[in-house]
Amino acid sequence: MKYLITGSNGQLAFEFLNKIKKGDVYGFDIDKLDISDEKSLKECIDWLKPDIIINCAAYNNVDKAESDSEAAYKVNAYALRNMALFSHKYKTKIVHFSTDYVFCGKEDFIPYGEEDAPAPLNKYGMSKLEGEKLLYSNYENFLIFRVSWLYGRGKQNFIYKLNEWSNKFSEIKVSVDEVSVPTFTGFVADISIKSIDSNLKGLFHLVPKGFVSRYDWSKKVFNIAGKEVKIIRAKQSDFNLPAKRPSFSAMSSQKISVFFGINFESWDYYLERYLKEGEKL
């Protein structure tokens, strides 16, 4: 089995590169393969003829995407159409990741299922939704996992930022009106690999159980890490960020958890394991 992992310097790619033990694994970062470059993407797929592409590459700067949406669409959307078209010949399976930001937010506090209609509030969410559509409308051999609030080994996540802020400031303001599911990259990689091995196809939500506000998540992080930090309750509007985020975008993974007969643990179970066994704050 030959794997191509795109965006190989990212936090999710890190887990795949560590966890896939059987087969030939080729991890390419943006310098080796820019997925938005149609010609390079075609040449790479024609040369490697991978059995599986795990697409971890993404334009993830949610705020910058508001003023730079063309760049976000190139990576998060149009590249998926090309990946699908170039993969036909080799029947390559494409494993792709999307986001809870394809949803606009709910008021009933019932997590979103796969059957709920997306309606993104920001350009990043729009580009990711377009990527999903361009993949499944052009190809059948795909897996799309919608994930949320990813954290893992790397710098592009909220836990890393919390730690940085706590070392610089005496108090930190965090929003209470953003609720979703913090998701450990190791959990996503484990279930994705299991899904690949089971030849699963389709679109699934992939997050642990439960949900939490960013404010309570921050409190939990410092509590587990045994670090005393003053956290101030804030609202999204206090930060005046370019991109609007949904207030409640938690998703339910019931569909995939029933498929595998696995009862996923709650988000704080994975957080505790991550902070105690892995990363130290």
Ligand X SMILES: NC(=O)c1ccc[n+]([C@@H]2O[C@H](COP(=O)([O-])OP(=O)(O)OC[C@H]3O[C@@H](n4cnc5c(N)ncnc54)[C@H](OP(=O)(O)O)[C@@H]3O)[C@@H](O)[C@H]2O)c1
Q: What share of the chain is helix, strand, coil (3-state, %, to 5)?
A: 45, 20, 40
Structure tokens at 220: 């939990």
Among 57, 72, 102, 134, binds ligand X (CB under 6 A): 57
User: Is residue 35 close enough to count as binding ligand X by CB under 6 A?
Assistant: yes
Q: What is the C-alpha separation between 93 and 139, in angstroms, rounded?
A: 9
Q: Of the ranges 30-38, 163-171, 244-252, 261-269, which one interacts with ligand X (CB under 6 A)? A: 30-38
Closest distance to ligand X from the beta carbon of 34 (Å):
4
Q: Which of residues 207-266 bind ligand X (CB under 6 A)?
A: none
Q: Are 180 and 215 within 8 A, CB to CB?
A: no
Q: How far apart are CA 112 and CA 7, in angstroms?
A: 28
Using the rule CB under 6 A, is 45 a contact of ligand X?
Answer: no
| Strand intervals (E) in the chain | 2-6, 24-28, 52-55, 93-99, 142-147, 150-151, 171-175, 179-180, 183-184, 202-205, 212-213, 230-234
Whichever of 20 and 171 has its CB closer to ligand X, that residue is: 20
Q: Which of 26, 30, 241, 243 binds ligand X (CB under 6 A)?
A: 30
Taking CB under 6 A as the binding criterion, the range among 26-34, 167-175, 229-237, 245-253 that sits at the site for ligand X is: 26-34
How many chain residues touch ligand X (CB under 6 A)? Answer: 27
Tell me: does residue 156 bind ligand X (CB under 6 A). Answer: yes
Task: Determine contact, residues 135/96, Cβ cutoff 8 Å.
Answer: yes
Name which of 113 and 171 has its Cβ closer to ligand X.
Answer: 113
Residues forming contacts to ligand X in the complex (CB under 6 A) are 6-7, 9-12, 29-30, 33-36, 56-60, 75, 97, 99, 147-150, 154, 156-157
